[in-house]
Amino acid sequence: MPTVDIDPDELRDLTGHDDVGDEELKDDLFGLGLEFEGHTEDGAFELEFAPDRLDRLSVEGVARSLRYQYGDARGVHVPSTNSAEWSITVDDSVPDERPYVTGAVIRDVSLDEDGLDSLIQLQEKLHATMGRKRAKGAIGIHDLTMLKGASATDTDTPTIEYVGVEPDEDRFVPLDSDAELTPAEVLEEHDTGRTYADLVSEYERYPAIYDDIGLFSFPPVINGRRTEVSTESRDLFVEMTGTDQWTIDKMLNIVCYALAARGATIEDVTVQYPDHELVRPDLSTKTKSVPHKRIETILGINLDPNEVVDLAERSGLEATKEDSEDADELVYEFTIPPYRVDVLHPLDVIDDLGRAYGFNELEPEYPDVGTVGGRHERSRLEDAARTQLVGLGFEDLLNFHMISEAENYERLGVSPNADAYGAGEAATIKEPYSEDFTMLRTWVMPSLLMVLERNTHRAYPQHLAEIGFTAAVDKSENTGVTEQRHVGAVLANHDAGYEDAKARLQALARRFDVELETPPTEHPTFISGRTAAVVIDGEEVGVIGEVHPKVLVEHDLEVPVAAFEFELAALQ
Amino acid sequence: MQLPAAQVAVLEAASADEATSVDALAEATDLPPETVTGAVFELEAEGLVTVSERVDETITLTDEGREYAESELPEISLYEAALEAGADDDPVSMGQVIGASGLEGSAVDIALSNYARKGYGQIDSGEITADSDADPTSDEEASALESLATGDGLDDAEVRDQLERRGLLEISETTVREVTLTDDGVTELMAGLETAETVGQVTPDLLTGGDWEDVEFAEYNVEADAEQFEGGRVHILRQTADRVKDVLVGMGFQEMEGPHVDADFWINDCLFMPQDHPARTHWDRFALEQPTHIDDLPEDLVADVERAHKEGVGPDGEGYHSPWDEDFARALALRGHTTSLSTRYLSGEEIGEIEPPARFFSVEKVYRNDTLDPTHLLEFFQIEGWVMAEDLSVRDLMGTFEEFYAQFGIEDIQFKPHYNPYTEPSFELFGTHPTTGELVEIGNSGIFREEMLEPLGVECDVMAWGLALERLLMLMYGFEDIRDIHGTLCDLELLRETEVTY
């Protein structure tokens, strides 16, 4: 799970609880679902977080949640914003792949080193989560004093322009560089450029942001050096571009809340698309209607309506009772603050209420619901066959379903295209873990021989069996793969022979009351003249024989091995 | 005095003056040593002989030890290569010397770990030096190996212990029993002994002819160990799976069954996992190279699932602000969880509409491209279970799982609020390890989201949980490396020695 670094002293400052010790603080954070993983080199807490509450990706957000937990804050708080002076104009040339932009102006910022680090971390964590590694949303934060707003055509307000440029059309000096580079050169020559090159390299035109002076940002890759933010910066311009308006607007809200928590003032920005206009940040609240009954059934307790309202406020939400004549039909309208990105459904509100109530306060209760249990027929058959095999003296094995081509075919002398049991087209894996696990096994014999190979130092006889999963490509199946259980068995001992295998196979057939025939056949894994097809109730379902010396030697075996394998379903 | 033939033979072969070993007696009497041992104990009980015991040590070379005795120790090969490369003057790069030495694989580590210890030189920051004063011909370990290989003994205890630590020799102990006649034994022998008529095996002739009434049966040493016998047994992990199945069936759960290779639609989309969720593009998924896509998906369901992803469910529902593409949903992969079975069953596609109340489970394999290590496999068994009923609560969920884990001796379950895209509320389950007392994670659970259930056509609550069977096995049995148990690297000895539980 992802982690976030939080300086405990800053947290104490922002919550106003200077007296809370480290251990107590860790417990309080655990209550929020932030688990202490260790200290960073600078002594900050490294906290593991579940990726739902993305408003807690920085010390400001964590402090806000703690203040609700401590009871210092209640209900919904929305920072006020000043009306827009700046605008972002979106040009027709913007690449179709990345059409959306949003932004805000932040005034009177006072960032010390810690504050700046926290802002940078928040930006990185948002990129990694909501921003899907900048593909879905990317953040650029600029020193506003370094921007010169071009006069927009139809207003007097300063504006910056979001455009698309040819890869080598223009130059700028990117962060961490002294050279003037074109966007295409950034992707080739700059470290950050190379890291994010895949995001835009397929684009015909690259995204770019201009002010009156020129190109100053190449989203989602890198900002220009001219507008770099430092502890000296007092006013900021925050812009975000992406593939989804909602996502970047929410990311913007989280950043605005974090900066407002440090005393900054938020100022609206007008986003001027060719055909419509947005005013951002969008700090409007959302509502969800949740019936009182649903809260009670999910939590399994009776609640007083006032208690629900109280739980909501302690969660940073607000609840108002909707008018209703019947008390049983009571419904609340919950107000959801604009920094929450995880509330998709009324159930999410109930989860918040449960956390505020304390899930651990709930008494477990075994549900009074009667149902009849039972095993699936396939698994009953498998177990019955396994019991018989064990009775016949086999040690039951459990092997991997993934195997390599070499093990599955070549080391048993079988060609994938051969007309032999175990041959056939394999279901293969696109990006295997290693060359040992590239496909699903088409039969279990290879796994059994691998176990014999690994255990030549162990006592013989080794009578091993596996009822195991096999798969092969079969176009007639819906998934394109036929999946079967096979019964595979090997008898390895100094005097093991065909008859030993046949005797046990016969016993199985007799016990399951099926008719067994073993007409001679040829199979590359077995010795010619000591190989037969396994025919059950008239259908060829497997093979039995003495394993060929070339296969034995290949597996470093110094004893003969008799073996059989057939489809479990034949015993039905 | 009448005695069984073997005892008579042993008495006659033994001496009152010097102790005779059981092996020597066996040779003299032409009887198997175990028969002689049996006879000796009988005679001792009669007071006719005394038996003394002595423990002998035998030193034998292991395969590796024999190999070095025939060629040479790897550190000597390394030393010779280092000298050759001029490392007695200046340090030489380790890679170069190893290459020249012809050492490969584990022999390299063996050579490096013994090189400095034995004063052949130093290894530092990837470079190697050779001490020109060292003399491989006077290497004590090498000469000890040689002398053992030619059948001579080894007296130097220090060298012997060192070689044993290196796994080059094995020291085995054997108990030698020696027999001396007592005065009573001599007296009886002088007085003359008669051989009692004894019978070894009960034969058909003996039974049908009635002779069994007159014969004495030769006595066995019933205390001696018999030859080891393995016989068949069910794999320990299967046994654990069966135990879990028993418990769940007892709790009213029905078993599910379904494909290992499945469409992402059933594995993820039906679970309300957004298509741009990191877990779906992440490398821990095993996508199929061939075949690539499922043929058919139920059209209406696809449309409903897409709508839930895009618009959410219910009047206040909100979908994900993520792209949704049917082709992406049709891609085939090895299932990363058996929740794909749950979605298939809940949708009515497998066994038709399921009426509440219902409980279903499976204990089946799932596949994750994780790092292989002692506690992680690429394929493992997932215990999956769900309960469908009207108005299920978090308390019902807690009660169900407490009951389940109690069956395995895991008490004091703790529920930590958690986040899953497909459940809300969600809980990680923690339990106290039955032996170490540690708090360990034992599962993940929650109430399925309405965005998941509504498209599947489920109109009541469903609570679910999942857990790795191997984790439960390791908790119950204390295994340290799961690879010894599950898969083709398994150790038959370990499987054979594992204690039976129930």
Name the more confident of B502 and A554. A554
Sign for the CA dihedral angle at A455, A456, A461, A466 comes to positive
pLDDT of the residue at A385? 97
Pair A394, A492 in one domain: yes
The verdict on A140 and A11 lying in the same domain is: no
Asked whether residue A460 is domain-assigned, the answer is yes
pLDDT over 70 for what percent of chain A? 98
* B293 and chain A in contact, CB less than 8 A: yes
Chain-centroid distance, C-alpha B322: 44
Q: Where are the domains of chain B?
A: 2-60+173-217, 238-497
The sign of the torsion formed by the CA atoms of B484, B485, B489, B495 equals positive
Contact B314 A346 (CB under 8 A): yes
In a domain, A339, yes or no: yes
Cα angle: B103, vertex B105, B110; to 5 degrees: 70
Angle ∠(B242,B247,B251) on CA atoms, nearest 5? 140
Identify whether residues A446 and A519 lie together within a single domain. yes
Could you read off the pLDDT of B212-253 as tens digits, one per residue?
887 778 778 888 888 888 899 999 999 999 999 999 999 999
Predicted confidence at residue B140, as pLDDT, reads 84
A76, part of any domain: no
Q: Which of A229, A258, A280 is the last residue of a domain?
A: A280
Residue list for the binding site of A for Mg(2+): 342, 348, 351-352
Give the separation between CA B274 and CA B268, rounded to whole angstroms: 8
| Mean pLDDT in residue range A73-79 | 95
> How far is A346 from chain B, CA to nearest CA, in Å?
7
**Do A215 and A224 touch, CB atoms closer than 8 A?**
yes
CATH 6.10.140.120 fits B238-497, yes or no: no
Residue B239: what pLDDT? 92
Residues A527 and A456 in one domain: yes
Structure-token pair, residue A54: 């993305």
Helices (H), A262-376: 292-299, 305-314, 346-357
pLDDT band for A154, please (50, 70, 90 cuts): low
> Looking at the partner chain, which of B235, B253, B290 has a beta carbon nearest the beta carbon of A427?
B290
Residue A391 sits in the same domain as residue A476: yes
Taking only residues 234 to 253 of chain B, the set having a beta carbon closer than 8 angstroms to any beta carbon of chain A reads 234-235, 237-238, 242, 245, 248-253
Residues A127 and A40 in one domain: no
Q: Determine the distance from the C-alpha atom of residue A81 to the mean position of all C-alpha atoms in its chain, rounded to a whole number.
A: 36
| Cβ contact A469:A425 at 8 Å | no
Average pLDDT on A459-465 reads 95
State residue B275's pLDDT score: 92
Residue B283's pLDDT is what? Answer: 66
d(CA A491, CA A496) in angstroms, rounded, equals 6
- Tokens of residue A109, six digits: 């910022």
Same domain, A119 and A168: yes
Q: Looking at the predicted structure, is the pLDDT value of residue A152 above 60?
A: no
List chain B pLDDT tens, one digit each, 502 residues.
778 788 888 888 888 888 888 888 889 888 888 888 888 888 898 889 999 888 888 888 888 888 888 888 888 888 888 888 888 888 888 888 888 888 888 888 888 888 888 888 888 877 888 888 888 888 888 888 888 888 777 778 888 888 888 888 888 888 888 899 999 888 888 888 887 767 778 888 888 988 888 777 877 888 888 888 889 999 999 999 999 999 999 999 999 999 999 999 999 999 999 998 877 776 688 999 999 999 899 999 999 999 999 999 998 888 999 999 999 999 999 999 999 999 999 999 999 999 999 999 999 999 998 888 888 889 999 999 999 999 999 999 999 999 998 898 887 888 889 999 999 999 999 887 777 777 788 889 999 999 999 999 999 999 999 988 988 887 777 777 888 888 888 889 989 988 887 7
Structure tokens at B237: 């992990």
pLDDT at B136: 82
What sign has the CA pseudo-torsion A68, A72, A75, A79? Answer: negative
A367 and B389 within 8 Å at the Cβ level: the answer is: yes
| Residue A357: closest C-alpha in chain B | B417
Q: Is B295 in CB contact (< 8 Å) with chain A? A: yes
Q: What is the pLDDT at residue A133?
A: 93
- Residue A396 is predicted with a pLDDT of 96
Calculate how close chain B gets to A479, using CA atoms only, in Å: 5
Tens-place pLDDT, residues A401-447: 999 999 999 999 999 999 999 999 999 999 999 999 999 999 999 99
| Per-residue pLDDT, A168 | 92
Is B365 in the A-facing interface, judged by CB distances under 8 Å? Answer: yes
Evaluate whether A258 touches A115 at the Cβ level (below 8 Å).
Answer: no
**A443 with A460, same domain?**
yes
Q: What is the CATH number of the domain that holds A38?
A: 3.30.56.10
Checking if the pLDDT of A480 tops 90, the result is yes
CB contact (8 A) between residue B400 and residue A401: no
Which residue segment(s) compose the domain that A175 sits in? 81-280
Longest dimension (CA), chain B: 111
Of chain A residues 172-231, which have a CB less than 8 A from chain B?
Answer: none
Tell me, yes or no, whether A171 and A275 share the same domain: yes
Q: Of B75, B65, B171, B164, nearest to B120 (Cα)? A: B75
In the listed set A280, A298, A330, which residue is the last one of a domain according to the structure?
A280
Return the DSSP state at B116. T
Residues 331-360 of B with CB under 8 A from A: 332, 334, 357-359
Chosen from A433, A450, A490, A493 to mutate, greatest number of chain B CBs within 10 A: A433
Q: How many CB pairs under 8 A join A and B?
A: 279
Residues A228 and A101 in one domain: yes
Sole residue written with tokens 């010779």: B80
Domain count, chain A: 4
Select from B294, B323, B425 the Cβ nearest to the Cβ of A478: B294
Asked if the Cβ–Cβ distance from B295 to A346 is below 8 Å, we say no
Residues A416 and A449 in one domain: yes
**Residue A510 forms part of a structural domain:** yes
Handedness of CA B150, B153, B159, B165 (dihedral sign): positive
pLDDT on residue A291: 94
Look at B312 and A300 and tell me if their CB atoms are within 8 Å. Answer: no
Does residue A368 lie in a domain region?
no
pLDDT band at A448 (very low <50, low <70, confident <90, very high): very high
Q: Is B321 on the interface with A (CB under 8 A)?
A: yes
Choosing from A211, A245, A280, the residue where a domain stops is A280
HSE value, Cβ hemisphere, 13 Å, CA-based, for B432 = 7
Element (H, E) at B267: helix B264-267
Q: Is residue A234 assigned to a domain?
A: yes
- Closest by CA to B456, choosing from B205, B265, B279, is B265
In the stretch 376-415 of chain B, residues with CB closer than 8 A to chain A read 377-379, 387, 389, 391-396, 398-400, 402-403, 413-415
Q: Is B493 on the interface with A (CB under 8 A)?
A: yes
CB contact under 8 A, A373 and B251: yes
Q: Which of A13-22, A151-160, B280-289, B482-491 has the highest mean pLDDT?
A: A13-22
Give A 434-493 residues with CB within 8 A of chain B. 437, 440, 447, 450-451, 454-455, 458-459, 461-465, 469, 471, 473, 475, 478-481, 483
Residue A437: the pLDDT is 95
Is pLDDT at A153 greater than 60 in this prediction?
no
In chain B, which residues have their Cβ closer than 8 Å to the Cβ of A493?
none
* pLDDT for the residue numbered A150: 65
Q: Do A428 and B414 touch (CB under 8 A)?
A: no
CATH of residue A248's domain is 3.50.40.10
Q: DSSP secondary-structure letter at A287?
A: E
Instruction: Give residue B502's pLDDT.
Output: 77
Q: How far is CA B337 from CA A570, B191, B209, B441, in A?
A: 29, 84, 70, 17
Say if residue A31 is exposed, middle or buried (CB neighbours under 10 Å; 0-12, 13-18, 19+): middle
Chain centroid to Cα A26, Å, comes to 26
Cα A497 to Cα B170: distance, rounded to the nearest angstrom: 35
Per-residue pLDDT, averaged over A66-83, amounts to 94
Does the distance separating the beta carbons of A345 and B486 come in below 8 Å? no
Report if residue A365 sits inside a domain.
no
CA distance A253 to A251: 5
CA distance B308 to chain A (A): 11
Residues A306, A347 share a domain: yes
Instruction: Measure Cα distances from A130 to A184, A198, A440, B122, B278 in Å.
Output: 26, 18, 35, 53, 10
CATH number of B2-60+173-217: 1.10.10.10
Residue A344 above 80 pLDDT?
A: yes
Predicted pLDDT of residue A435: 94
Instruction: Give helix B94-101 / helix B106-115 axis angle, nearest 10°.
Output: 120
